Amino acid sequence: MKRTISTTDAPDAVGAYSQATTDGSLVFTAGQIPMTSDGDLLDDEPIATQAEQALSNVEAVLAAEGLEMSDVLKVTVFLDDIGDFEAMNDTYASFFDEAPPARSAVEVANLPKGVGVEIEAIATSD
């Protein structure tokens, strides 16, 4: 059975989507942007800071389900400038120190609210 996941430790969903959903085995997070749980948008910050906030949001959503970043199987990173890959990757690596998940990183034309990065994850609760 599909169930939605929500936490006040990450930004509220602003639209017709959930912060995450699960079938009891896999957890799919929505794309997380560099916005604090208080609604402060970090769009003018360097990409490393934006990536850190987006990953912290993913971490908070997973924690609401009792999961950790080590439970992540796959991550997709959307960058508005692939030239920011190295800076994003340095921050990303600090969240996955052992056995990092599979990952895709792609450049896109635009991201919500003009941010530089959006990150989504798939995790397992098994």
> What per-residue confidence (pLDDT) applies to 99?
93
Here the tokens at position 70 are 């080590």
Q: Count of H helices and E strands in the chain?
A: 2, 6
Q: What confidence tens digit (pLDDT) does each residue in 48-89 have?
A: 999 999 999 999 999 999 999 999 999 999 999 999 999 999
**CATH of range 3-124; options 3.40.50.1820, 3.30.1330.40, 3.90.320.10, 3.30.1330.10:** 3.30.1330.40
Give the contacts of 90 (CB within 8 A, at least 6 positions apart). 48
Does pLDDT of 21 surpass 80?
yes
The residue among 87, 48, 63, 93 whose CA lies nearest residue 75 is: 93
Mean pLDDT value across residues 97-119: 96
Predicted confidence at residue 98, as pLDDT, reads: 87
Q: What is the pTM of this model?
A: 0.96
pLDDT at 97: 84
Give percent above pLDDT 90 in the chain: 94
Q: Is 52 exposed, middle or buried (0-12, 13-18, 19+ CB in 10 A)?
A: buried
CA gap 56, 42 in Å, rounded: 13
